[in-house]
Amino acid sequence: QGALVESGGGLVQPGGSLRLSCVASGFTFSNYAMSWYRQAPGKERELVARIIPRIGSTNYDDSVKGRFTISRDKTKNTVYLQMDSLKPEDTAVYYCNARPYDALGSGEYWGQGTQVTVSS
């Protein structure tokens, strides 16, 4: 069974930085699109960034463009989210997600979430 494990969340002041990590196991990393979502209390879960590990193609929500960078290490089956210039509005639980890409995989996987709090 596939699994995703996030880490790297914490408390940071506005303008600070954090790097989230998501380690994937139990499925073929290259056959999936990897994404970061976030959910604040009382809000819908929203897509933050997505990467196709096989080719490195990325996309971002407008709210984080220029501040967040998604990347991957194919040799480690790991996806990262580098978060810079953090704002209080970025406070949320961040979740890693894997979905099949090009119909080469099956199933969908979610991590347990990691809390990011941006506050002074």
Q: Residues near 43 by Cβ (< 8 Å), separated by ≥ 6? A: 92
Residue-averaged pLDDT of the chain: 95
Q: Which residues of 45-69 are buried (b: 16+ CB within 10 A; e: fewer)?
A: eeebbbbbbbeeeeebeeebeeebb
pLDDT of residue 106: 82
The 10s digit of each residue's pLDDT in 12-48 is 999 999 999 999 999 998 899 999 999 999 999 999 9
